[in-house]
Amino acid sequence: MVKVTSHGAELHVDDLYGDRRPIVLVHGWPLSGEAWKHQVEAFSDAGHRVVTYDRRGFGRSGVAADGAYDYDALTDDLEEVVRALDLSDAVVVGFSMGGGEAVRLATRASGRLAGIVLAAAVPPYLLKTEDNPDGPLPPEGADGMKAGLAEDREGFLPGFVRDFFRAGDDVAVSEAEVEAALGLALQSDQDAALACIDSFSRTDFRDDVAAVRLPTLVVHGDADGIVPLEGSGQRAHDAIEGSKLVVIKGGPHGVNVSHADEFNRAVLEFVNSL
């Protein structure tokens, strides 16, 4: 474990050394780097250097000293982690909200990345607007999520986390997995969690996605009810030239947990092909 400071925020980073290409895992909202437990072991066993970190205001990281939770600041954090660990030829895997940092870092001239993976990720643009009619999240949905968290945190988070793993009418993971994810969600700072709802729901990544020139894998479950495949993963794949799309049948939003073996296999095949 190391600490990396970015914009005054102290970030908790876990770094498992390996001889093969580094894989940096960026978690979703409102979890932490510990949400990648099914990936860390598998990727490390395959010989890769595996890096996870907790987003500012989440898990074991500190809150933002500058109060910023926009994607420019969040991507600065990711870039600082990559630089502080002197990573090169790395693959960044961005899950859900973390897909925003992944595509934005891919457009920066860092020269340290070999590729990116967008896993159940929010790009290109989650919010449904007049000029983004295919956005899967209506404004009232974003507003309702923020109001629910603001007014009844203890009531909102359990339901959200359960929906995280819901595929149709069924929850696709064990109750122990649901409780573990809820425990991570409850570690989040309330102000950070509220601000990040605005960031992931209202940030337009269409220009970022169009500018990606790195090899890209898109992995998405076809039963994702939080970030639907058709409105996000499929559109990102269509917009990124040469990208590969892997659709996991029956996969909910938390597909890296519910279908861990299939997810890990797709990511490792992509990483090892670079």
What pLDDT shows up at residue 109?
Answer: 67
* C-alpha span between 85 and 50 (Å, rounded): 11
The verdict on pTM exceeding 0.75 is yes
| Nearest C-alpha neighbor of 223 from the set 172, 261, 273 | 172
Q: Whole-angstrom Cα distance, residue 144 to residue 141?
A: 5
CA distance 119 to 251: 11
Among 198, 197, 218, 219, CA closest to 209: 218
Q: What is the pLDDT of residue 195?
A: 98
Q: Which CATH number is 2-273's, of 3.10.150.10, 3.40.50.720, 3.40.50.300, 3.40.50.1820? A: 3.40.50.1820
Both tokens of 197, joined, read 């709802």
Per-residue pLDDT of the chain (274 residues; tens, 9 = 90+): 888 888 889 999 999 998 999 999 999 999 999 999 999 999 999 999 999 999 999 999 999 888 999 999 999 999 999 999 999 999 999 999 999 999 999 999 678 999 999 999 999 999 999 999 999 999 999 999 999 999 999 999 999 999 999 999 999 999 999 999 999 999 999 999 999 999 999 999 999 999 999 999 999 999 999 999 999 999 999 999 999 999 999 999 999 999 999 999 999 999 999 9
Tokens of 267: 């990511």
d(CA 253, CA 274): 26
- State how far the Cα of 118 lies from the Cα of 100, in Å rounded to an integer: 9
Task: Return the CA Rg of the chain.
Answer: 17
Catalytic amino acids?
96, 224, 253
Q: Which two tokens stand for residue 80?
A: 């600082």
Q: CA separation (Å) from 50 to 21, 26, 81, 99? A: 9, 11, 12, 17
CA angle, 209 then 213 then 219, to 5° = 60
